[in-house]
Amino acid sequence: MALRDRIRARVDALLGTSAYQPPKGYGPELDAKVVEAVREAIGGQIQPLPITRLRWYLADLERAQHAADAGNLAPAAQLWRAMRRDGSLLGLMGTRTLGMVGLPKSYFGNATIADELRANNGSRSVFDEMFPPSELAALDADGVALGIGVAELVPVPGRSYPVMVRLDPEFLQYRWVENRWYFVSAAGLLPITPGDGRWILHVAGPRMAPWTWGLWPALGQAWIDKQHAMFHRSNYSGKLANPARAAVAPPGATEIQRKNWISKVIAWGVNTVFEMPVGWDVRLIESNGRGFDVFQRQIDTSDHEFMIGICGQEVTTTGGAGFSNMDVQKAIRRDLLRFDADALAFTINTQGLPQYIVDHYGIEALDEPTIMRWDTEEPKDKAAWASTTATTAGAIKAMGEALAPYRRRLAVGEILTRQDVPTVELEPGEEPPVVAEEPPGGEGTGEGGVDAA
């Protein structure tokens, strides 16, 4: 079996690729010569020019839902790009995605590979050079909003590892008859093979129809309503910003006098001065209605929908009760933050890092997987776990000594499992670690157990 096929088999096992999915789709691969020639002709870009839509209506949202269920994500992705013009939505989504990507990272597995990923290469670590935080945040945002995102690992001349570049999900298509995703590129329709060393397909929703898991239908309806409310409010304000002017003439005024008087009021300009005889008057007719309130309530309702949909809660976003020392773990509901971090880490660990490991250490290095994850735990939770672990250790020792006279022993393995204490078994022939004992003489003694007094 060729090396590429062996890597493909390993990655398929990591991803859990269905045995019913065809191994290859229709069309050229991303590294085909015809695709490379097209890329070189247009400056290396593989993504076509996005289509910009500035006006959206609820009927457009319904058409986007029908298109997505048919496998065409272009309308939904165009709506998602348009929604990012809203400051409230953009700020909330940035807190959820940029905040998550900025959390500390941990590496597990081969210590040598982990140290290399963690090592600085100029201004950033090797991992951050390969997976820039801005690209990861954009890919994560696509997963949250659309349920799916796509990126490419682009080779970098003079560097032994690629850089991940997020691609616009507008050009994603899903073919139900093949159970396969395609990318509508500048070189034609390209089949997406996740984990082949070039494609990264971030599925944040369920495997079947992940777009139904995204927030875009709910956010889209709230955003469209908000846009229309803002337009109506601006129109309402524009009409009432200049109140109507009334020219009041006395009962005995002739028709010619009234016409002359109203013509002067019509010509009313900046710093206009009127000299009015008794009985003549000029008035402003201003609206005292509250019609604009309905538009503001609609805007506030939409912003509230953004908060609940993106952050999962409202209190820490608006600064209500319990709002203190806010960080990303408090601003975003903990289960959502952990879900995003686990989903994105799974994508990177199965589609990004394996090819890097094979290129630098050989395919045998995949036998001991090296993975990364974002640390979403709060410091107080870590302190509580450490305290619980220390208490558990003391309790195990005390209980073991108490049970010894009765010829009973503790099921230590079960206790450690229940308390979520990670342990490893000793290798055959390996001696247990030596535990430092209390010096002879107990407390209050100096060196060698001699009483200091």
Task: Judge whether residue 451 has pLDDT over 80.
Answer: no
Helix (H, G, I), strand (E, B) or coil at 163: strand
Task: Judge whether residue 134 has pLDDT over 80.
Answer: yes
pLDDT for 233: 83
pLDDT for 241: 66
**pLDDT tier at 450 (50, 70, 90 boundaries)?**
very low
In a domain, 168, yes or no: yes
Give the pair of three-digit tokens for residue 56: 């959206």
Q: Are residues 18 and 93 in the same domain?
A: yes
Which has more pLDDT, 271 or 232?
A: 232
Last residue of a domain, one of 339, 374, 409: 374
Q: Detail the DSSP E strand segments found in 277-428.
A: 281-285, 371-374
Task: Judge whether residue 248 has pLDDT over 50.
Answer: yes
Measured CA to CA, the distance from residue 396 to residue 306 in angstroms comes to: 49
Q: Are residues 340 and 414 in the same domain?
A: no
163-167 β-sheet, strand order: 163-167, 148-154, 199-203
Q: Are residues 414 and 347 in the same domain?
A: no
277 Ramachandran zone, left/alpha/beta (phi>0; psi -120 to 50): beta
pLDDT for 380: 61
Instruction: Tell me the per-residue pLDDT of 399-411, one tens digit each, with 9 for 90 and over.
Output: 888 888 888 888 8
Count: domains in the chain: 2
The least confident of 49-58, 169-178, 271-280 is 271-280
Share of the chain above pLDDT 90, in %: 34
Task: Judge whether residue 428 has pLDDT over 60.
Answer: yes
pLDDT for 323: 36
Q: Are residues 418 and 336 in the same domain?
A: no
Alpha helices in 49-125 (DSSP H): 58-69, 74-83, 87-101, 111-118
The least confident of 69-78, 139-148, 430-439 is 430-439
The type of residue at 318 is T
Measured CA to CA, the distance from residue 83 to residue 220 in angstroms comes to: 7
In a domain, 288, yes or no: no
In a domain, 232, yes or no: no
The least confident of 171-180, 204-213, 263-272 is 263-272
366 Ramachandran zone, left/alpha/beta (phi>0; psi -120 to 50): alpha
In a domain, 39, yes or no: yes
Q: Please state the φ and ψ torsions of residue 126, each to the nearest 5 degrees.
A: -60, -40
DSSP lists the bridge partners of residue 182 as 173, 191
Instruction: Tell me the per-residue pLDDT of 200-225, one tens digit each, with 9 for 90 and over.
Output: 999 998 888 999 999 999 999 999 99
DSSP lists the bridge partners of residue 125 as 120
pLDDT for 382: 62
Measured CA to CA, the distance from residue 9 to residue 398 in angstroms comes to: 50
- Looking up tokens 């050229």, which residue turns up? 28
In a domain, 342, yes or no: yes
In a domain, 313, yes or no: no
Burial environment of residue 358 by CB neighbours within 10 A (0 to 12, 13 to 18, 19 or more): buried
Measured CA to CA, the distance from residue 103 to residue 63 in angstroms comes to: 38
In a domain, 138, yes or no: yes
Centre a 10 Å sphere on the Cβ of residue 94 and count the other Cβ atoms it contains: 14
Q: Are residues 367 and 386 in the same domain?
A: no
Task: Judge whether residue 441 has pLDDT over 70.
Answer: no
DSSP lists the bridge partners of residue 201 as 150
Rounded average pLDDT over 288-302: 80
pLDDT for 326: 46
Rounded average pLDDT over 14-24: 62
pLDDT for 407: 82
The least confident of 54-68, 280-294, 338-352 is 280-294
Helix (H, G, I), strand (E, B) or coil at 411: coil
**pLDDT tier at 149 (50, 70, 90 boundaries)?**
very high
Give the pair of three-digit tokens for residue 226: 């908000």
**Do strands 188-191 and 180-185 pair parallel, antiparallel, or not at all (unpaired)?**
antiparallel
Task: Judge whether residue 271 has pLDDT over 60.
Answer: yes
Helix (H, G, I), strand (E, B) or coil at 294: helix
Instruction: Give CA separation, 416 vs 91, 391, 403, 404, in Å.
Output: 42, 12, 18, 20
The overall longest dimension of the chain from CA atoms, in Å, is 124
The least confident of 123-132, 168-177, 261-270, 439-448 is 439-448
Q: Are residues 363 and 398 in the same domain?
A: no
Which has more pLDDT, 147 or 363?
A: 147
**pLDDT tier at 93 (50, 70, 90 boundaries)?**
very high
Q: Are residues 9 and 73 in the same domain?
A: yes
Share of the chain above pLDDT 70, in %: 81
Task: Judge whether residue 422 has pLDDT over 50.
Answer: yes
Mean pLDDT of the chain: 82
Rounded average pLDDT over 157-170: 93
Q: Are residues 351 and 406 in the same domain?
A: no
Q: Which domain holds residue 385?
A: 380-423
Q: Are residues 364 and 412 in the same domain?
A: no
The least confident of 5-9, 29-33, 86-90, 433-437 is 433-437
Q: Are residues 69 and 115 in the same domain?
A: yes
Q: Are residues 364 and 402 in the same domain?
A: no
**Do strands 120-121 and 148-154 pair parallel, antiparallel, or not at all (unpaired)?**
unpaired
In a domain, 256, yes or no: no
Q: Are residues 344 and 399 in the same domain?
A: no
Task: Judge whether residue 226 has pLDDT over 90.
Answer: yes
